[in-house]
Amino acid sequence: MAAVETEAARRRTFAIISHPDAGKTTLTEKFLLYAGAIGRAGAVQTRKTDRATTSDWLELEQQRGISVSSAVARFEHDSHVLNLLDTPGHRDFSEDTYRVLSGVDAAVMVLDAARGVEPQTEKLYAVCKARGTPVITFVNKMDRPTPEPLEILDDIERTLGLVGQPVTWPIKPEGQFQGVIDRRTARAFRFEAAGVRGGQMAQEDEADLTGSDSWVSEDVREEVELLDAIGADVDVDAFLAGTASPVFFGSALSNFGVRLLLDAIVELAPPPAARPTRDGGHRAIDEPFSGLVFKIQANLDPRHRDRMAFVRVCSGRFERGETLINHRTGRGTTAKYATAVFGRDRETVDEAYPGDVIGLINAMDLVAGDSLHAQGAPVVFPPLPTFTPEHFATAHPTDRNRTKQFRKGVDQLDEEGVVQVLRHPDLGDQAPIWAAVGRLQFEVATWRMEHEFGAPVRLEGTRFEVARATDEDGAKVLAGMRDVEVYRRSTGAPMALFRSRFVADRVAADNPELMLDTLVLS
Angle at CA of residue 331, ends 294 and 379, nearest 5°: 55
The reply on whether position 216 binds ligand G4P by CB under 6 A is no
Nearest approach, Cβ of 271 to ligand G4P (angstroms)? 27
Nearer to ligand G4P, 17 or 106 (CB): 17
CA atoms within 13 A on the CB side of 205: 9
Nearer to ligand G4P, 89 or 271 (CB): 89
Nearer to ligand G4P, 26 or 339 (CB): 26
The reply on whether position 357 binds ligand G4P by CB under 6 A is no
Q: In b/e form, how buried is each residue of 40-73, taking b as 16+ CB within 10 angstroms? A: ebbeeeeeeeebbbbbbbbbbbebbebbbbbbbb
Three-class SS state of 443: helix
> For residues 352 and 318, is the Cβ–Cβ distance under 8 A?
yes
The reply on whether position 257 binds ligand G4P by CB under 6 A is no
Nearer to ligand G4P, 25 or 297 (CB): 25
Nearer to ligand G4P, 159 or 522 (CB): 159
Sequence-distant (6+) residues with CB within 8 A of 484 are 478, 496, 497, 498, 499, 503, 507
> For residues 165 and 245, is the Cβ–Cβ distance under 8 A?
yes
The reply on whether position 253 binds ligand G4P by CB under 6 A is yes
Q: Which one of 43-51, 119-127, 312-320, 436-444 is the stretch in contact with ligand G4P (CB under 6 A)?
A: 43-51
Nearest approach, Cβ of 142 to ligand G4P (angstroms)? 7
Q: Which one of 139-147, 274-282, 285-293, 397-405 is the stretch in contact with ligand G4P (CB under 6 A)?
A: 139-147
Which one among 10, 11, 12, 24 touches ligand G4P, defined by CB under 6 A? 24
Q: 117: part of which helix (H) or strand (E)?
A: none
Sequence-distant (6+) residues with CB within 8 A of 500 are 465, 466, 483
Helix (DSSP H) and strand (DSSP E) numbers for the chain: 13, 32
Which one among 6, 45, 176, 185 touches ligand G4P, defined by CB under 6 A? 45
Of 436, 519, 437, nearest to 130 (Cα)? Answer: 519
Which one among 47, 303, 400, 482 touches ligand G4P, defined by CB under 6 A? 47
Contact characters 169-208, ligand G4P, x per CB under 6 A = ----------------------------------------
Backbone angles phi, psi at 465, to 5 degrees: -125, -25
Residue 169 Cα distances to 42, 184, 419, angstroms = 29, 10, 43
Instruction: Round to whole Å and give the CA distance between 371 and 238.
Output: 30
Which one among 17, 135, 244, 252 touches ligand G4P, defined by CB under 6 A? 252
Nearer to ligand G4P, 18 or 394 (CB): 18
Contact characters 145-174, ligand G4P, x per CB under 6 A = ------------------------------
The count of chain residues that interact with ligand G4P, using the rule CB under 6 A, is: 21
Nearer to ligand G4P, 46 or 403 (CB): 46
Nearer to ligand G4P, 47 or 482 (CB): 47
Q: 82: part of which helix (H) or strand (E)?
A: strand 80-85
Nearest approach, Cβ of 253 to ligand G4P (angstroms)? 3
Q: Which one of 18-26, 80-88, 167-175, 493-501 is the stretch in contact with ligand G4P (CB under 6 A)?
A: 18-26
Which one among 10, 14, 23, 146 touches ligand G4P, defined by CB under 6 A? 23
Which one among 251, 326, 388, 446 touches ligand G4P, defined by CB under 6 A? 251
Sequence-distant (6+) residues with CB within 8 A of 453 are 405, 406, 408, 409, 412
Instruction: Round to whole Å and give the CA distance between 67 and 83.
Output: 16
> For residues 110 and 23, is the Cβ–Cβ distance under 8 A?
yes
Give, as one character, the DSSP assignment of residue 432. Answer: P
The reply on whether position 7 binds ligand G4P by CB under 6 A is no
How many residues in total does the chain contain?
A: 522
Of 135, 117, 78, 113, nearest to 251 (Cα)? Answer: 113
Task: Give, as ranges, the residues between 69 and 128 that touch ligand G4P (CB under 6 A).
Answer: 90
The reply on whether position 358 binds ligand G4P by CB under 6 A is no
Nearer to ligand G4P, 88 or 409 (CB): 88
Residue numbers of the site for ligand G4P (CB under 6 A)? Answer: 18, 20-26, 45, 47-48, 56, 90, 140-141, 143-144, 251-254
